[in-house]
Amino acid sequence: MTHLPEQAVLVLEDGTRHRGRAYGARGTTLGEVVFATGMSGYQETLTDPSYAGQIVLQTAPHIGNTGMNDEDPESRRIWVAGYIVRDPSRVVSNWRADTSLDATLEKDGIVGISGIDTRSITRHIRSAGSMRGGIFSGDAAALDADEQLRIVQEAPQMAGQNLSAEVSVDAATVTEAVGEKIGNLAVLDLGVKQATVDNLAARGFEVHVLPQTATIEEIRSIDPVAVFYSNGPGDPAASDGHVDLLRSVLDEKLPFFGICFGNQLLGRALGLGTYKLPFGHRGINQPVRDKTTGRVEITAHNHGFAVDAPIEGVFDSPAGYGRVEVSHVGLNDNVVEGLRALDIPAFSVQYHPEAAAGPHDANYLFDRFADLVRENKDAK
């Protein structure tokens, strides 16, 4: 007897509906529906804390053929709110695989949907912008269409959400420096990835990953040579506490490096605004120009918000931190992809230099940070 696949439905807040097959766990999940353009690296995508609160659609049609392993997670768990794929692999074929993707999704309670036209949804989001959505499977798939839409429309918007507490560690952790030690580095965990910690330790930092609730007194207590703000989910406009903390760091002239969410928070600390992008940048194939060298890097992105700053020329920080310039620019849409303060030791980028996208086009930024810290120590 042939068993028909279990049905599932994706409902967007504008009333758009797509019927498909249940994938992963069964039930209901809600979140902001976004698309990621990477052709590979789905395990890294799923375990990136920056995707908390988001239902991720993979634009690559065939997902899951290399399974899941215990070596590649970017963090301690899967963070996506839901998962959308077109054609999940029926078999796992990779010598490093420990289990299958669908089994992992089911075990971790991640509700997904497969067998739908992901290209159509991607084009719709590109036109209408990212929006709230819901995946309904199991008993929830049989709910009335109007009831499903009501549930989606009552879900919180991504704008205005502070999600740092959901992804941050509860207690500080320490990773020893590799090689000659530069000093202690305070990392504010807003959704940090393990590859970032490893890259910083490899540059000689003793990496102290601190909870997002850390105060300036707690940062001072580890006698840091610098401070680092990680990537993470949420709206930077809803993180005033982290902005105030960063201003305390800048006031003390501690060297600072921020990535992704950290870039947006540096922008706000400098007195700049941030805004929500129509559909964001998510994938491992985003071209960015380093204005200092003129070099184009292929980079990994995961952000739905950006800094509002003039692309060309030097400008004064509205918050009184001296001269600032945009250091990196996204070539697809001229979005600010990096900031550099010229009168204090602080810089940031909007993308993820720890990710092997180009494959190592952006890794030099960790060296740039280590050099900045050494220069600052020598100048004292």
Query: Which of 13, 206, 260, 337 is flagged as catalytic?
Result: 260
- CA dist., res. 358 & res. 337, Å (int): 16
Query: Which of 44, 74, 325, 354 is flagged as catalytic?
Result: 354
In the chain, count of helices (H) and strands (E)?
Answer: 10, 20
Catalytic site includes residue 260: yes
Distance, first Cα to last Cα, the chain? 78
User: Which phi and psi angles does 36 have, rounded to 5°?
Assistant: -120, 130
8 Å CB contact between 133 and 13: yes
Catalytic site includes residue 154: no
Query: Which of 242, 281, 301, 352 is flagged as catalytic?
Result: 352
Helix pair 240-251, 261-269: axis angle to 10 deg: 70
- CA dist., res. 75 & res. 2, Å (int): 39
- CA dist., res. 53 & res. 156, Å (int): 10
Catalytic site includes residue 352: yes
CA dist 39 → 43, 75, 283 (Å): 12, 21, 8
| DSSP type of residue 39 | S
Catalytic positions: 260, 352, 354
